[in-house]
Amino acid sequence: MQKSPMGRGRTFNQPGKIEGGKTVAETAGEARAALAFSGFFLLAGLTLCWGFNWPIMKIALGEVKPWTFRTLCLMIGGFGLLAIAKLNGFSLRIPRRERLPLLLVSLLNITGWHLSSAYGLILMNAGRAVILAYTMPLWTSILSILVLGERLTPVRLAGLGLGLAGMAILISADIEAVGAMPLGALFMVIAALSWAAGTVAIKYFHWTMPTSLLTGWQLIVGGVPVVIGALIMEPFSALSNVSTQAILATAYAILGAMIFCHYAWFKMVHILPAPVAAIATLAIPVVGVFSSALILGEPAGFRELLSLALVVSALAIVLIGPFWLRPSRPSQG
């Protein structure tokens, strides 16, 4: 029995096999499957937490001005993630060659997305705003082909088509309402484009920082223009008249949507291909619509259920389909 020159305690029984009779390829496949499973777990938490965040943000933004709201979320969330990274023993230093890429992804993922979506949410219903925001997978798929050289496989194309069909059904009854609020719709589309470009940029650059550190610095760097805008346009004294309900809504946005969801999202982008991660987010607006109906009394009915069915089908095709379609290897004995 030979000892492996590459690691301690790992032994090879025959060429291409490690102890236990598994090939190196099989072991690597199991590792990939474990990563994919963790991606599914993150997706479930992300879907629920970000979905419920839309009506909750609507409550907070009813009393807290958008620049101030985003400043609180980004700064507290960013420093919170850096504190978590520090407690886990990571250095907070940003590697020199990653500073310019960090600035770019921060402006796209954080500054562009958060300001545009906050103003869009003020100008239109939360349920409709979230649908426009989650046209993001379409733009991500297009940019991934152009920038990353990703292939839009038949499975991904089918998932994207079903998911976008679900979005179209949700918004079909409200085309006139969206047309009556063109500025809100424009802000939400800009937010979707900014998020899509940031997602592709995250995949394009090579990062050595752990996810908590990369996410925390993005929130802080991308939040600097927001802080400056808040200081100029919105006096913090306005926070003195905020109700307990709005304070609790803001706390949820910081702890759940900002710290957990941003960490989960960037971790998921690291694990999954960019188009797959983007398509996986299509369940979030469905949760957003139903939670808006539950919390804010916004309408939800058969159209929303049909949309949910299409989106769930899209997720099954994109996330589970490849495992079903992968040919099984005959066992060797």
Distances (CA, A) of 118 to 66, 94, 149, 294: 6, 29, 32, 21
Per-residue pLDDT band at 200 (split at 50, 70, 90): very high
Sign of CA dihedral 204, 206, 212, 218: negative
Q: Is residue 21 part of a domain?
A: no
Residue 330 has pLDDT above 60, yes or no: no
Question: In this structure, is residue 19 part of a structural domain?
Answer: no
**Does the structure show a pLDDT above 60 at 11?**
no
- Residue 147 CB neighbour total at 10 angstroms: 14
pLDDT > 90 fraction of the chain, expressed in percent and rounded: 27
Greatest CA span in the chain, whole angstroms?
A: 75
Task: Please choose, from the candidates 264, 260, 238, the residue with its C-alpha nearest in 3D space to the C-alpha of residue 251.
Answer: 260
- Count structural domains, the chain: 1
The type of residue at 291 is S
According to the model, what pLDDT value does residue 183 have? 79
Tell me the β-bridge partners of 12: 2
277 is a domain residue: yes
Residue with more model confidence, 98 or 188: 98
pLDDT in tens, 258-304: 999 988 888 888 887 777 777 777 778 778 877 888 888 876 667 76
Residue 322 has a pLDDT of: 55
Residue 2 has pLDDT above 90, yes or no: no
Token readout for 40 is 């599914």
139 found inside a domain: yes
In a domain, 35, yes or no: no
If you average pLDDT over every residue of the chain, what do you get? 78
Position 239 in a domain: yes
User: 227, 69 in Cβ contact below 8 A?
Assistant: no
Q: Which residue has the higher pLDDT, 223 or 230?
A: 223
The answer to whether position 39 is within a domain reads no
In a domain, 104, yes or no: yes
pTM above 0.85, yes or no: no
Token duo for residue 206: 């090579």
Axis-axis angle for helices 302-315, 283-296 (nearest 10): 150
Question: What tokens appear for 250 in the block?
Answer: 């803001």
Residue 10 confidence (pLDDT): 41
The set of residues, in sequence order, having a beta carbon less than 8 Å from that of 66 and lying 6+ positions away, is 115, 118, 119, 122
* Helix (H), strand (E), coil (C) string for the chain: CEECCCCCCCEECCCCECCCCCEHHHHHHHHHHHHHHHHHHHHHHHHHHHHHHHHHHHHHHCCCCHHHHHHHHHHHHHHHHHHHHHHCCCCCCCCHHHHHHHHHHHHHHHHHHHHHHHHHHHHCCHHHHHHHHCCHHHHHHHHHHHHHCCCCCHHHHHHHHHHHHHHHHHHHCCHHHHHHCHHHHHHHHHHHHHHHHHHHHHHHCCCCCCHHHHHHHHHHHHHHHHHHHHHHHCCHHHHHHCCHHHHHHHHHHHHHHHHHHHHHHHHHHHHCCHHHHHHHCCHHHHHHHHHHHHHHCCCCCHHHHHHHHHHHHHHHHHHHHHHHHCCCCCCCC
Domain limits for position 176: 44-325
